Amino acid sequence: MHNSCGSVLFVTLGCAKNEVDTDRMRALLLSNGYQEAASSDDANVVIVNTCSFLTSATSESIECTLALAEQTTAGIRDVPLVMCGCVPSRYGDDLPAELPEVAAFVRTDEEDRIVSVLDDLLGVQRETPAFIPRIKRTVEGAVAYVKISDGCDRLCSFCVIPFIRGRYHSRPAADIIAEAVELVSGGVREIVLIGQDTGVWGGDLPAAAGTGGPANLAQLLVALAAALRPAHVWIRVLYLQPEGMTDELIAAIRDTPEVLPYIDIPIQHVSARLLAAMRRTGSREELEALFERLRRTIPHMVIRSTAMVGFPGESDEEAAELLEFMASVGFDYTSVFAYSAEEGTVAARLTEQIDEQVKLERQQAAVDLAEELGFAATAAHVGETADVIVDGVEDEDGELELIGHAWFQAPDLDGAVHLDATDASVGDILKVRFTDSFCYELVGSVIA
């Protein structure tokens, strides 16, 4: 192995799944003789891990790449750029001609060969081939995302994920548990399980049922919690589709103390007609029954959801029905998207595309409602006492302030808790009384 093959700057765009992919590439490169650079000035190569979920995300990824190209060629050194992730996966063969500034393109399913890509670019000669070690994640904070699956089989008519990341494939339970145990031993206090569709984990691993190991998400949660004991750790699950909420999974969330009573379920819409056009299942009645069952079965349940407005053919009445449903369920947190006609999708070819101004107006109305519900849900915690994980320190007008999050706040999504103490470290778990709120943020007084 080479002591120093070169220094790499990593730039990650998009969701937490991309952060995990970057972490894997980082581990591969550092294990094979590369170092991490702090800036483009110190780098021999720059890796940009891109997002292409929406046209706007693709544009942002390309703009960021071009800005980096301008930076890295402004001086006397010409630092090669490598574009990884979703944009190369989605646009592939068209990119070399469109982006001559980029030295190499690496799709999501090719990221394990990142060492050989950089070796070729930098002229690194190896006596033995690059190896793929057991990936050791870098512990950088109190929270770590662990990917349990990739790809998606749902083929929703508006979504490009299956074209980018391929068919659904579950990650083996033993790998997930080993990674989580390692992270917790390194100081992580919350494990966030992610994937394109976490609720169907294990369905493509039929052999698991015969080995006594976890065969579905409910069993994985129970096994993961048992493996992490006696550490004081939270387990949170994101990206659960409504169909994945089985009785067994609901019971596992209710009965496993480490698993937070926090459910992230994207609904997109409640009109059965539009859901069918989206190639999704369900109806308003089925969704109402699901959320009622969740709140009845799991005490203090917190619910995050995602809604889409402006899908082709959406009527004024259907747009109003979606808002009416959001208000009746009373979501704690809701992300609202205006439909985007993504190239290559079925929905982009539909004739009843909604006017952009109408989409923006409907999005703003849904955002206003989501904020009204979310701010009220946040304010309802004032006066309560709960554990808070310390995430870091912020400088507020020259004064240092500890920032953390409570169990009902998904990190980087749902707001934070601002603490009145400064003598704690990242990863500490403090007993806090919430004294005030503003928007999605809480102010807390440390009591233990």
> Does the CA dihedral 247-409-436-422 come out positive or negative?
positive
15 is in an annotated binding site: yes
Domain boundaries 385-446, corresponding CATH code: 2.40.50.140
Dist CA 117 CA 129 (whole Å): 12
Residues of the chain by 3-state class (helix, strand, coil), percent to 5: 40, 25, 40
CA dist 160 to 19, 52, 163, 340, Å? 19, 8, 5, 11
156 is in an annotated binding site: yes
Domains of the chain by residue range: 6-122, 143-379, 385-446
6-122 CATH pick, 3.40.50.1220, 3.40.190.10, 3.40.50.12160, 3.30.530.20:
3.40.50.12160
Asked whether the domain spanning 385-446 has the same topology as the one spanning 6-122, the reply is no
152 is in an annotated binding site: yes
| Helices and strands (H and E) in the chain: how many | 14, 18
Return per-residue pLDDT of the chain as tens, 448 residues: 445 789 999 999 988 888 889 988 998 998 899 999 988 888 999 999 999 888 888 899 999 988 888 876 655 457 899 999 999 999 888 888 889 989 999 999 899 899 999 999 998 988 776 766 555 565 568 999 999 999 999 899 999 988 888 889 999 999 999 999 999 998 999 999 999 999 999 988 865 555 668 999 999 999 999 999 999 999 999 999 999 899 999 999 999 999 999 999 999 999 999 999 999 999 999 999 999 999 999 989 999 999 999 999 999 999 999 999 999 999 999 999 999 999 889 999 999 999 999 999 999 999 999 999 999 999 999 999 999 999 988 777 767 788 999 999 999 899 999 998 778 888 999 999 999 999 999 999 999 6
pTM of the model: 0.86
439 is in an annotated binding site: no
Lateral strand order in the sheet of 34-36:
34-36, 6-12, 45-50, 81-85, 104-107
84 is in an annotated binding site: no
> Alpha helix locations (H) across 212-329?
217-228, 247-255, 272-277, 284-297, 316-329
Q: Which helix (H) or strand (E) holds 256?
A: none
Beta carbons of 158 and 54 less than 8 angstroms apart: no
How far the first Cα of the chain sits from its last, in Å, is 49
51 is in an annotated binding site: yes
The CATH superfamily label for domain 143-379 reads tm_1862 like domain (3.80.30.20)
